[in-house]
Every structure is written in structure tokens, then in C-alpha cells.
Amino acid sequence: MGSIIIVVATDAPLLPHQVQRLARRATMGLARTGSTSGNGSGDIFIAFSTANPNAAAAGVTANVAMLPNESLNPVFEASVPATEEVIVNAMVGAETMSGAHGSTVTALPHDRLRDVLKKYNRLAP
């Protein structure tokens, strides 16, 4: 229950419509963690490319590089496990927090998590 903001950054030369398509792929990484994005969820997915740094320069015509649409699959495919990995890392690295009105969110217990991962052969040797 809650919301998530996912930012996907790449150095692949993408045009704005391609970056929008890349941002939508982050939903698949989120889904791989078990999330279904509920009714009250305010999920935000954004993406940007660091390629073409002078594309928005004022007063000049810009030449930009771009990947053809037919070459985007590897970029899309990389964004899914990367998104999943960063969500898992954030969950494991989170600390217990107290908030408004006395609410508390407890961090994952690492010892119990390791036991479960071991049980299902998901812990790297």
C-alpha cells in the first residue's frame, strides 16, 4: 500500500517519445516485485536520456542522435531487471521509521529474510 516514484536514466540516444516508452517499462520491474499498483497508489514513472546534451540549446538548430525503434528492445529489456533490483535494494536497505500520528513502518528483519532466501535456494553462495 502506497506510492512509488521510479526514475529511469540512460545514456542511450533516445527521442522524447522513446523515453516515454522506456518509462512505461518500469511498471514491469515493479510488477516483478509483486506489486499490483492499487487504487490509492500514486505511482509516477519518469525517464530521461543524458545523450544529446545540447539538444535544447536556445536559438540554434540541433543535430541529435537516436536509436531506431527496431533497436530499442535491449534498452527496454535492461530497464525491467534494473527496476526490480533497485526496489529490492531499497526494501532491504530501509530502516524502521516513525511518522505522523504515531505510525511506524518496521524494516525487514534481515536474519529472517536470509533464512527464507536460503530455504528457497535464492541466496547466492
By annotation, the residues acting in catalysis are 3, 41, 43
Q: How far is CA 74 from the centre of its chain?
A: 16
Cell match 529511469: residue?
8
Q: Could you count the other beta carbons within 10 Å of the beta carbon of residue 50?
A: 10
Coil, strand or helix at 104: strand
- CA gyration radius, the chain: 19
Q: 96-117 burial, b for 16+ CB within 10 Å, e for fewer? A: eeeeeeeeeeeeeeeeeeeeee
